[in-house]
Amino acid sequence: MSELDELYQEVILDHNKSPRNFREIVDANRRSEGYNPLCGDHVTVFVNLADGVIRDISFKGSGCAISKASASMMTTELKGKSETEAERVFDTVHKMLTGEMGVEESDLERLGKLKILSGVCKFPARVKCASLAWHTMNAALKGSDKVSSTE
Amino acid sequence: MKAAREKRLPQSGTESFNVDKVRRDFPILKERVHGKPLVYLDNGATSQKPQVVIDALNRYYKSENSNIHRGVHYLSERATANYEAAREKIRQFINAERGNEIIFVRGTTEAINLVAQSYGRSFLKTDDEIVISAMEHHSNIVPWQILCGQIGARLRVVPINHDGEFVLDEYRRLLNESTKLVSLTHVSNALGSIVPVKEAVRLAHERAIPVLLDGAQAVPHFKVDVQDIGCDFYAFSGHKLFGPTGVGVLYGKAELLDAMPPYQGGGDMISLVTFEKTHYNVLPYKFEAGTPNIAGGIGLGAAIDYLNGFNWDEVCAHESDLLAYATNALSEIESIRIIGSAKDKAGVLSFVSDHIHAHDVGTILDQEGVAIRAGHHCAMPVMQRFGVPATARASFAFYNNRDDVDVLVRGIHRVLKVFS
């Protein structure tokens, strides 16, 4: 598979075309905004957290296929996970996207479908697109009201 | 559009302008990217450099490097002479009346900031108005917003129409007794629209309002004569004019520059310093504090020497042929839309697809060896005007040819296939 085909895999194109959980959670008890001013990607992540578990998670915003697919896949993977588990996934995804060494094989396995996003690390200019929703989600869980950016 | 295609010219360009020969002057055009020949269509961001400019930089650092206006030794005199010769080349290039009206700066951005802070803070006051257009680069918006914040002046914006054209009637209406400065782009970096600057200057001067023009995207495409246009200030960057980065030019009418206070303090801009008082140097040195980008200035001079070797009517004919060819080719692709269809356009083709983001277009084209710009082009208000988050922008220089456009078109088809 060429690097380009690895980046724009069927699953990613599908999430871009029909993003999952692409809606606002009106009564969300956590929400955070992410914005990359240079490229213009803009995302808001909504989370309903109860007893340390992500009961519901969604996003709204505009951006490229990579940012949208990453956000969409993130919501499907994290729904129902505990806050601690979500943080662990965030760490692994972050390491995978930036091509950082030291990702445990077992952690990588745990990512399941999210592993598809690993094609992004071959495109350094696009890592920020894939990671924006994740950093925004992390900020939401931490209750930060700062706008996240990955540029 | 059809007519442009029927009038198809030979691949080598117009009859006497030989694009193949020109391409050999730019060594980078032989590079390969991701295993494909480089197709460089990001000239609006920065242009490539001909060998003569690279040689001039090399020669300077290899055998001439020295500080200017200081030493009495051979190298310093030689560097000074070459740097000042570059100033004279620039003067002739834009037909300024006097050499001391050419101020070396880092680039267009610094030139505009200089005028905002030096002229603006001295001659504008609370409730005065500054007129810009809706298609300015951020560098011709933000310096004025900073100034407005400092002195309580107001920014007024001339709208553009749906084709991306400057609306002269609206501009005329905006000018009033409070207008104290007009600052307009000559050519829009995001859309390529050419602003009727001569008429804009004439209308402003009827009310004795000085006019600054941002010529960053104009000088690489056609001859600019500042005396003919009549503007009071003209700013451009060396790196978009086939010269080095980090050097640019502010042209200003001597009587205005003379009346303005220095922008930065330091060496070179003084004639006498005591702890009680400092006397400033004469023009242009008053505005050139500190050791400048000497190699950059000399490199820009070399770029201008190179450009002077061309017949600019032929360069313009080649570029308009190329733009018409590209416009026609992209218009035939159904799922993309060209943004900016001004009657007078130079060098830029911005386009969007309703369901594909510009960054995805940029990444896929890059894999084909095609370099374009994807994003808001530092002109967010233009994006807002057209209701798009970003565009993909192909921007041309005279070394581009129809083959480049053909590769671009093939690349766009690949993008559409990936997202089909």
Looking at the structure, do residues B125 and B182 belong to the same domain, yes or no? Answer: yes
In the predicted structure, residue B200 carries a pLDDT above the cut 80: yes
Looking at the structure, do residues B320 and B249 belong to the same domain, yes or no? Answer: no
Task: Kindly indicate whether the domain formed by A3-141 is annotated with CATH number 3.40.1440.10.
Answer: no
Residue A63: list chain B partners with CB under 8 A.
Answer: 357, 389
- Which tokens is B76 given? 């310093």
Residue B61 forms part of a structural domain: yes
- Which tokens is B294 given? 């000497």
Among residues B268, B283, B308, which one ends one of the domains? B308
Residue A19: list chain B partners with CB under 8 A.
Answer: none
Residue-number span of the structural domain to which B25 is assigned? 2-30+311-418
Looking at the structure, do residues B321 and B264 belong to the same domain, yes or no? Answer: no
Looking at the structure, do residues B193 and B251 belong to the same domain, yes or no? Answer: yes
Residue B267 forms part of a structural domain: yes
Q: Cα B167 vs. chain centroid, distance in angstroms?
A: 21
For residue range B75-107, list pLDDT tens digits in order: 999 999 999 999 999 999 999 999 999 999 999
Looking at the structure, do residues B139 and B159 belong to the same domain, yes or no? Answer: yes
Question: CATH no. for residue B346?
Answer: 3.90.1150.10
Q: Nearest by CB to B357, which of A3, A4, A64?
A: A64
Residue B389 forms part of a structural domain: yes
The reported pTM is 0.93
- Count CB atoms within 10 A of the CB of residue B88: 14
Would you say A105 and A111 are in contact if contact means Cβ atoms under 8 Å apart?
no
Contact across the interface for A64 and B418, Cβ inside 8 Å: no
Q: Nearest by CB to B389, which of A40, A126, A129?
A: A40
What's the structural domain count of chain B? 2
What is the model's pLDDT at position B15?
A: 54
Sorted by sequence, the CB contacts under 8 Å of residue B228 that are 6+ apart come out as B95, B198
Domain range annotation of chain A: 3-141
In the predicted structure, residue B14 carries a pLDDT above the cut 60: no
Question: CATH no. for residue B166?
Answer: 3.40.640.10
Task: Work out the angle at residue B148's Cα, subtended by the Cα atoms of residues B226 and B261, and round it to the nearest 5 degrees.
Answer: 55
User: Of B74, B36, B77, B79, which Cα lies nearest the Cα of B56?
Assistant: B79
More confident residue, A122 or B87: B87
Task: Give percent of chain A above pLDDT 90.
Answer: 73
Compute φ and ψ for B271, nearest 5 degrees.
-115, -30
Looking at the structure, do residues B258 and B114 belong to the same domain, yes or no? Answer: yes
d(CA B118, CA B138): 19
Looking at the structure, do residues B83 and B191 belong to the same domain, yes or no? Answer: yes
Q: Which of B359, B377, B383 to mutate to test the interface with A (most CBs of A within 10 A)?
A: B359
Looking at the structure, do residues B147 and B211 belong to the same domain, yes or no? Answer: yes
Q: Is residue B231 among the annotated active site residues? A: no
Compute φ and ψ for A35, nearest 5 degrees.
-150, 125
Residue A39: list chain B partners with CB under 8 A.
Answer: 359, 374-375, 390
Among residues B253, B276, B308, which one ends one of the domains? B308
Residue B367: list chain A partners with CB under 8 A.
Answer: 2-4
A137 min Cα distance to partner chain B (Å): 22
Q: Nearest by CB to B357, which of A3, A4, A65?
A: A65
- Cα distances from A81 to residues A47, A49, A90, A115, in angstroms, run 12, 10, 12, 17
Looking at the structure, do residues B325 and B198 belong to the same domain, yes or no? Answer: no
For residue range B343-369, list pLDDT tens digits in order: 999 999 999 998 999 999 999 999 999
Residue B86 forms part of a structural domain: yes
In the predicted structure, residue A127 carries a pLDDT above the cut 80: yes
Global ipTM: 0.89
Residue B119 forms part of a structural domain: yes
Closest residue, chain B, to A13 (C-alpha): B419
More confident residue, B8 or B398: B398
B384 min Cα distance to partner chain A (Å): 12
Looking at the structure, do residues B97 and B189 belong to the same domain, yes or no? Answer: yes
Looking at the structure, do residues B103 and B8 belong to the same domain, yes or no? Answer: no
B105 min Cα distance to partner chain A (Å): 25
Residue B38 forms part of a structural domain: no
In the predicted structure, residue B10 carries a pLDDT above the cut 60: no
Q: Nearest by CB to A63, which of B355, B357, B363?
A: B357
Residue B273 forms part of a structural domain: yes
Looking at the structure, do residues B217 and B141 belong to the same domain, yes or no? Answer: yes
d(CA A89, CA A114): 9
